[in-house]
Chain A
Amino acid sequence: MRKEGKGLVVALGLVALMAAGCAKEEVVKKDEPVVPQQTVKQQEPAKPVEPAKVEPAKTEATQEGATAKASAANALETVYFDFDKSDLRQDARDALAKNAEALLKQLANDKVKIEGNCDERGSDEYNLALGDRRAKSAAKYLETLGVKADRITTISYGKEKPAVQGHDEAAWAKNRRDDFVIVK
């Protein structure tokens, strides 16, 4: 009985994984309409960090209006990735553009640490390298946007620091990310 249940879970996991592969495009596309900058600029108030990490859509909508430096630091946007990928999606580039602007204006005297993270599915050791690559691809993009390389450090946590618990694509999508932390 128990065994069968387990088998079912495994089978479902398999199906979920396959589905994830197919659904990926869809997920990305769903995210995209939220991203464009015009939409972002219309929506104002600063929100605390917590939802910023959990709810990418809301974060993206809130950041621009923040004026205080602290808010700017808090509102550096998390960047998200596809499974086993470290290249930057359009929504990631948009978020990085906003982060670069904050780092060049309100946070011009601060340094930033980019923390690369992965979802729980991959091998933990390989994911350390993947997280490293994710952090570095964001770092490179910030540099091309004018943030000096000596203000940026990177670290990978692989799948050791999930932002949200959960074992479905919704959770995984939120865990495949770069967090941006201001370091003094």
Chain B
Amino acid sequence: MRFLPRLALLLLLCCSLATVACADGVVEVTAPGNRLLKLAVVPAQPQGATVQPDLANEMADAQVFDLNMSGLFAAERRDAAPLPQGLGLSVIDYIPWLTAGYDLLIRGEYELRGDELTVEFRLFDVLNKKQLLVKRYLGKRSDLRRFSHAFSDEVLGVMAGAKGAFTSRVVYVSSQTGHKEIYIMDWDGFNTRQITRNNTITISPDVSPDGREIIFTSYKRGNPDLYKRALSSSVEVPISTRRGLNITGAWSPDGSKIALSLSKDGNTEIYTINRDGSAPNRLTVSHSANVSPSWSPDGSKIAFVSDRLGRPQIFIMDADGGNVRRLTTNGSYNVNPSWSPKGDKIAYARMMGGFQIFTINTDGSDDTQLTSEGSNERPRWSPDGRLIVFSSQRNGGQAIYVMRADGSGQTKVSHTGGQNIHPVWTPRWE
């Protein structure tokens, strides 16, 4: 009950905190040496009549997973007795956390009325004994993981200067039903949902920059054609059904165009088309195969795969097709380019027995191998550039994995059976 009257005050707090964050950029909380910041997540305390420890634990576990994967924190769930004064901490309340060696603390409250869920999370700086962040979320019970991820996004905003992308989801392809179909899941593998039901080969999804639509290639009419569909709808609109291949569609960063590979003129060449499929404009001219375009974040350049020199290598060209240059020079078979959101790096996969994932600067320097276990393909950067999702064949299956951009923390996230391939992130939930 005392929850609601405090809303106005909290909103005020949020605003003032936001101002502070804007003014200061990054909050200065530095762990001694180079160790990770130790962060305790206390499961949210119940308000009102409905007490559901499972719900509170699930929210805490989601944040622990997010924040550990960020690479900035050593996060863990810690149970603690509720304090009489609610979520605020008096100076003396910090002491046990300080003595236990924590740098940061997340506490929360939830109220469940029927299906209506209200959650408030707070982040505390234990060393400096101050509250850094307050956020309040109102929605349905089914939103609980999203609320947790949304607060994780904010924690990174305050602690590292750029929000996380834990509210992003991953669209991917699974052969679980016996056919390759498109699925969507939260970035951490929860809330998996099958999107397409074409009972044929359906592959290579890409998500529009506004997060509302996907494009993909499907053989549903016999030819590998490009389709578009809203995530909220089941209507699939064919947008490129040209003779031959209509594959590896990639939405431009401003959403106005789609780069894709067409073989209508003989070779498989890269074109751009409008989002409705009209006005094809050929970008590559070669006697070879050109596939897998990936836009630079400013839309001025496109990385792609071409075997114009024999085996497939990664090239970069201007978005109008000019100034083609070869990017990868190591390895004899490099594919799957993905341009980082900051624009400085390209992740790709190299065949060396199986495939392994590398990152390379766009000037060709710092070519770095990130994976070595099993066979790993199709890297795609998270919207905040901190994580890379990829498809991995290891331990007898082919699943979707996530790792940090430096290759650490490789973790299986998909739960669907069969082959799981072609992951791509949605934008974060704002």
Q: Which residues of A contact B (CB under 8 A)?
A: 2-3, 6-7, 10-11, 13-14, 17, 84, 121-126, 128-130, 132-133, 136, 154-157, 160
Pick the contact of B421: A122, A124, A133, A156 (CB < 8 A).
Answer: A124
Contact status of A155 and B223, CB under 8 A, knowing A121-B351, A123-B336: yes
B353–A14 CB distance below 8 A: yes
Q: Which residues on the A side are within 8 Å of B248 (C-beta)?
A: 125
Closest to B334 in A: A123
Cβ contact within 8 Å between B354 and A126:
no
Chain B contributes a number of interface residues (CB within 8 A of A) equal to: 40
Instruction: Give bound CA distance, A137 to B290, whole Å.
Output: 17
For the A-B complex with A122-B351, A123-B349, A124-B421 known, give 9 more contacts whose Cβ atoms are closer than 8 Å.
Answer: A6-B373, A6-B374, A13-B353, A125-B248, A128-B245, A128-B291, A129-B261, A132-B244, A160-B201
User: Is B377 on the interface with A (CB-CB < 8 A)?
Assistant: yes
In the complex, what distance in Å separates the CA atom of A129 from the CA atom of B248? 10
A64 to chain B, nearest CB (A): 31
Q: Considering only CB atoms, which chain B residue lies closest to A161 in the complex?
A: B201
Bound-complex Cα distance A2 to B396 (A) = 11
Q: Which residue of B lies closest to A15 (CB)?
A: B353
Residues of chain A within 8 A (CB-CB) of B247 are 125, 128-129
- Asked if A126 contacts B266 (CB within 8 A), the reply is no
In the complex, are the beta carbons of B374 and A160 less than 8 A apart?
A: no
Q: Return A7 CB to nearest CB of chain B, in Å.
A: 8
Query: B180: nearest residue on chain A (CB-CB)?
Result: A160
CB-CB < 8 A to A10: which residues of B? 353-354, 373-375
| Chain B positions 367-392 with a Cβ under 8 Å from a chain A Cβ | 373-375, 377
Q: Is the CB of A125 within 8 A of B351?
A: no
Name the B residues within 8 Å of A121 (CB-CB). 351
Q: Which of A3, A7, A156 is the most central at the interface, judged by chain B CB atoms within 10 Å of its CB?
A: A156
Is B263 interfacial (CB 8 A cutoff)? yes
Q: Contact check: which of A11, A14, A17, A125 meets B291 at CB < 8 Å? A: A125
Residue B292 interfacial (CB < 8 Å): yes
Give chain B nearest CB distance to A169 CB in angstroms.
14
B289 in contact with A129 (CB, 8 Å): yes
Q: Smallest CB-CB separation from B243: which chain A residue? A: A153
17 contacts between A and B (CB under 8 A): A13-B353, A14-B354, A17-B353, A84-B311, A84-B333, A122-B351, A123-B333, A123-B336, A125-B247, A126-B305, A128-B224, A129-B263, A129-B289, A132-B268, A155-B224, A157-B201, A160-B201
Whole-angstrom CA separation of A6 from B354 in the bound complex: 12
Q: When A84-B311, A125-B204 are in contact, do A14 and B289 touch as well, CB less than 8 Å?
A: no
Taking a contact as CB atoms under 8 Å apart, the answer to whether A14 and B245 are in contact is no
Assess the A125–B353 pair: CB atoms within 8 A.
Answer: no
Which residues from A are CB-within-8-Å of B268?
Answer: 128-129, 132-133
Q: Which of A13, A123, A136, A154 contacts B335 (CB under 8 A)?
A: A123
Known: A6-B373, A124-B203, A125-B335. A156 touches B224 (CB 8 A): yes
Q: Which of B284-337 contact A (CB under 8 A)?
A: 289-292, 305, 307, 311-312, 333, 335-336
Whether the Cβ atoms of B355 and A132 lie closer than 8 Å is no
State how many angstroms separate the Cβ of A155 from the closest Cβ of chain B. 6
Residues on A with beta carbons closer than 8 Å to the beta carbon of B244: 132, 154, 156
Residues of A within 8 A of B374 (CB): 6, 10
Q: Does B394 contact A (CB under 8 A)?
A: yes
Q: Which 3 A-B pairs have the closest CB atoms?
A: A14-B353, A129-B289, A129-B268
Q: CB of B395 within 8 A of chain A?
A: yes
| A125–B291 CA distance with the chains assembled, in angstroms | 7
Query: In the assembly, what is the distance between CA of A7 and CA of B244, in Å?
Result: 40
Cα–Cα, bound, A121→B350 (Å): 12
Q: Complex formed: what's the CA distance from A126 to B245 in Å?
A: 11
Question: Within the complex, what minimum Cβ distance (angstroms) separates A98 from chain B?
Answer: 26
A17 to B312, alpha carbons, bound, how many Å?
17
| Interface pair A6/B224, CB less than 8 Å apart | no
Contacts of A126 on B, CB cut-off 8 Å?
289, 291-292, 305, 307, 312, 335
CB-CB < 8 A to A123: which residues of B?
292, 305, 312, 333, 335-336, 349, 351, 355, 377
Quick one: closest A residue to B204, CB to CB? A125
B290 surroundings in chain A (CB, below 8 A) = 129
Residues in B with CB closer than 8 Å to A157 are: 201
Give the chain A neighbours of B395 by CB distance below 8 A. Answer: 2, 6
Tell me the complex Cα distance, A17–B352, Å: 9
User: Chain B's nearest CB lies how many Å from the CB of A51?
Assistant: 25
How many angstroms between the C-alpha atoms of A125 and B395 in the bound complex? 24
CB B44 to nearest CB in A, in angstroms, measures 38
Find chain A residues with CB under 8 A from B289 CB: 126, 129-130, 132-133
**Least distance between B185 CB and chain A CB atoms (Å):** 21
Measured CA separation A126–B394 after assembly (Å): 22
Q: Which of A13, A84, A126, A157 has the most CB of B within 10 A?
A: A126
Question: Of B263, B336, B394, which is within 8 A of A125 by CB?
Answer: B336
Q: Quick one: CB contact mask for B269-293 with A, threshold 8 Å, 1 for yes?
A: 0000000000000000000011110
B101 smallest CB distance to A (angstroms):
32
